[in-house]
């Protein structure tokens, strides 16, 4: 019997937690898959994320990754959309407080901006677009969303970005932030988890 061949997929990211999350979910559909990131491939000119939508930025990064590495490439763009801030920070989430990107500084700024907003008006959602580009020209994009609210203090040590400030609707009763959930519990409800579960079988099919 022929053993399945490990398939390498490139994810346009240096975020170790994001790489692990991507590989964890993809392996449910393609057990032999290996996900490599930007630090695992020769350096190339990464595109400026200047698109006005999550989908546009995700496609921009996935196309650049496929062209530079020759590998089937995934990229995501995601962010926190706060009702009281008219949907911002949105696509600017990672650089909300300016360059260089700094999660702690972004979180401090968001808390300052929402300081006078009452609890009942702190609704928000995480949005995500995941793009897959295969060197053969195949392109796929899926979307995910997680609704919840922004709390008033940083809590938890897991996750990344605004996870320490966000309580999803599914965990409103116990008040756990996304950063306080174990990886499996977060994957089950997160915007990225939902998008990845939708795209994973499509990627597995494209790899086959």
Q: Is 63 annotated as a binding residue?
A: no
Can you give the residue range of the structural domain that contains 17?
A: 8-207
Quote the pLDDT of residue 115.
Answer: 96
In a domain, 3, yes or no: no
- The confidence score (pLDDT) of residue 126 equals 96
Task: Tell me if 26 is assigned to some domain.
Answer: yes
What are the strands of the beta sheet with 34-36, ordered from one edge? 34-36, 8-11, 73-82, 123-133, 139-150, 166-168
Is 144 flagged in the annotation as binding?
no
Average pLDDT, the chain: 91
Catalytic-labelled residue, pool 50, 77, 103, 136: 77
Nearest by Cα to 49 from 70, 64, 67? 64
Tell me, yes or no, whether 160 lies in a domain.
yes
pLDDT tens across 61-104, in order?
A: 999 999 999 999 999 999 999 999 999 999 999 999 988 889 99
**Tokens 């702190």, residue located:** 122
Q: Quote the number of domains for the chain.
A: 1
Better-scored residue on pLDDT, 24 or 181: 181
For residue 104, give every residue at least 6 positions away whose Cβ sits within 8 Å of its Cβ, in sequence order, or none. Answer: none
15 is in an annotated binding site: yes
78 assigned binding-site residue? yes
Question: How far apart (Å, rounded) are the C-alpha atoms in residues 194 and 29?
Answer: 14
Is 77 labelled as part of a ligand binding site?
A: yes
Residue 105 forms part of a structural domain: yes
pLDDT in tens, 104-145: 999 999 999 999 999 999 999 999 999 999 999 999 999 999
Residue 6: predicted pLDDT: 58
Q: Looking at the domain assignment, is residue 28 inside a domain?
A: yes
Q: Is 160 annotated as ligand-binding?
A: yes
Residue 2 counted as domain residue: no
Give the containing element (helix H, strand E) for 154.
none
- Residue 192 is predicted with a pLDDT of 87
103 an active-site residue? Answer: no
113 inside domain: yes
How high is the pLDDT of residue 5? 46
Would 1 be classed as within a structural domain?
no
pLDDT at 171 over 90: yes
pLDDT tens track for 5-59: 458 999 999 988 788 888 888 888 888 889 999 999 999 999 999 999 999 999 9
Inform me whether the pLDDT recorded for 193 exceeds 90.
no
Residue 99 maps to which CATH number? 3.90.950.10
């Amino acid at each position: 019997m022929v053993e399945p061949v490990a398939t390498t997929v490139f994810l346009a990211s240096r975020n170790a937690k994001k790489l692990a999350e991507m590989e964890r979910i993809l392996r449910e559909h393609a057990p032999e898959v290996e996900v490599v990131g930007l630090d695992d491939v020769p350096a190339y000119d990464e595109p400026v994320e200047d698109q006005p939508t999550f989908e546009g930025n995700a496609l921009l990064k996935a196309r650049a990754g496929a062209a530079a590495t020759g590998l089937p490439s995934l990229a995501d763009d995601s962010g926190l959309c706060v009702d009281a801030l008219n949907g911002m920070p949105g696509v600017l989430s990672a650089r909300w407080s300016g360059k260089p990107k700094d999660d702690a500084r972004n979180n401090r700024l968001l808390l300052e901006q929402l300081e006078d907003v009452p609890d009942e008006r702190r609704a928000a959602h995480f949005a995500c677009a995941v793009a897959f580009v295969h060197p053969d020209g195949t392109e796929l994009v899926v979307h995910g969303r997680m609704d919840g609210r922004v709390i008033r203090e940083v809590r938890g040590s897991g996750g990344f970005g605004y996870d320490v400030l966000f309580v999803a609707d599914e965990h409103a009763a116990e008040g756990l932030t996304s950063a306080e959930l174990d990886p499996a519990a977060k994957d089950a409800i997160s915007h990225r988890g939902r998008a990845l579960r939708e795209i994973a079988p499509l990627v597995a099919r494209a790899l086959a």
